[in-house]
Amino acid sequence: MPAVLSVTMALGARMLARSKAIVSRLESIEELAGVDVLCSDKTGTLTQNKLTLGDPEASTGMDAATLILMASLASRAADNDPIDLAVLSSLKDSTVLNNYQQEKYVPFDPVDKRTEATIRDSSGKVFRVTKGAPQVVLALTRLSGSDLDRASKTIQSLASHGYRTIAVAVAQDDGPWTLLGLLPLSDPPRPDSKSTIARARAYGVKVKMVTGDNVAIARQIASQLDLGTNIQPATELFPGDVTKGQIPLDAAGKIDQADGFAQVFPEHKYAIVKILQENGHIVGMTGDGVNDAPALKQADVGIAVSGATEAARAAAALILTAPGLSVIIEGIAEARRIFERMMSYVLYRIAMTIAIMVFVVLASIYYHFFPLTAIMLIALALLDDVPIMTIAFDNASVPPQPVKWELDRVLVISSVLGLLGVIQSFGLLYLGDTLHHLDHPQLQTMMFLQLVAGGHLLLFVTRTRRAFWKPPYPNLKLFLAIVVTQIVAVFMCSQGWMVPPLPWRIIGFVWAYNLVWMFAQDVVKLAIYGILDPARLWKRSLFQPIRVSTTSRPEAVS
């Protein structure tokens, strides 16, 4: 069982890699299939991360050209930062930068949320210039009174139209900071974000937007994407120091109901993940920076987005090589297909184990002879191994709800099918003894063929929750593997290869008997699903979110 599940997950990881999602831990595939809340960064994931500069809002006595120049001095093209590139590209004459020398530069930091440069002009005068999040820069300038109200209203007005605002300030030597003005930046949503979020919702995944921008911008983007407008400011949710566990008691309910979070710092991400997990959710969290690593590690599925730092990639379970939310949602869909393949194998393996072991023991007691020879047991194991390894390639549907192992249901379904297999085998043994009057060696060969044929037909039954003749149909590799092994088993029995030979009429009878039982087992399977899941056909999934790794859970079953 561990070998089959490991192969299934390894091949699944390769399929995810083709979808631009690299799995760093195999067991994270299982957790990805169970994600029911996805906390997604806004910039670059929900939006295009292609910023364009709007009309600058310069402070009194400052012109727009000088405001853009000062912002450009606090930028660095070599960093390929989208904000820096947008500011630098808005300069009408970039040669003006040659008159200034950048002596020191502090790049953008998710905690400080601003850049700062020490500049020397052509006359030798030294000054400092900074640009960054408005709340941070306004705090530096210690703006108050009507000036603060006017700046705040401008920021809110721009945000309500979807503009991300950057504040620019200057300081002479070690003197106080002076606000130069505001730069509105537009970052439109990705064309596929809205449809992808709708697809995630159809899969039972709640997408919550996480952004460092203010609430108004977050609400504007969220409304465009149909995410909802219940955006909670992280600074109000966590007024204390979250690194010291200062989390208000009422924050859990607000976080659970929120459609997104604004004004988020890296430490807030960690707290959001922790609370959602305590509320019973399986959480996916995206991130790209060094400071996002704790949240990525804490999340059930940490997702390092395209262009993430090495620290973020090392902490993540899933590493994206292409931008956008669609990569993540496709990854969730593929993970659920992988889980379905593993589930079909577990159901089959438990049912067949019961069918073989119980039958062999009871038949030995009742009929006073062993129904299978040692050679037959070895051949049965080898012929079983070929098809079950191809389960990793099988076609599987995507459950519309998060999935997990529910061992009580797994054991009920597999045990009932296994006991049906015992009855099936005893029925054939009785008919072979009383109707066809076969001797013990021929009865052994007949039971060998019964377990090979019946077992592989049972695989068609367990591989889907629907009727076995309905889509998704078996993958060609799985189908051919079963056909080839059945041909080998039939010729072994007809030609007497390593087993006593059987007449062709008995072989035909065994196959007809098994086909009838295949339909009977499928009817019973559908009835069990109907009892365990009255809503039927994925309205309420048989499998719910999981946190335990596959490598340990199925072994506990066996």
Residue with tokens 């509105």: 184
Q: Are 211 and 191 a contacting pair, CB within 8 Å?
A: no
Active site residue 41: yes
Q: Which of 36, 41, 292, 522 is catalytic?
A: 41
Please give the Cα distance from 166 to 339 (Å, whole number). 45
Closest CA to 91 of 109, 113, 71: 71
CA distance 275 to 290: 22
Residue 24 DSSP SS3: coil
Structure tokens, 222: 């969220």
Structure tokens at 293: 């690593």
Angle at alpha carbon of residue 457, lines to 453 and 461, rounded to 5°: 160
User: What is the rounded distance in angstroms from the CA atom of residue 512 to the CA atom of residue 324?
Assistant: 53
Q: Residue 303 in contact with residue 10, Cβ under 8 Å?
A: no
**How many whole angstroms separate alpha carbon 344 and alpha carbon 346?**
6
The DSSP string of 77-140 is GGGT-HHHHHHHHT-S-GGGGGGEEEEEEE---TTT-EEEEEEEETTS-EEEEEEE-HHHHHHH
Residue 98 burial by Cβ neighbours in a 10 Å radius (0-12, 13-18, 19+): exposed
Q: Which of 268, 243, 241, 267 is nearest to 254 (CA)?
A: 268
| H helices present in 265-309, as ranges | 266-278, 293-298
**Which residues does the annotation mark as catalytic?**
41
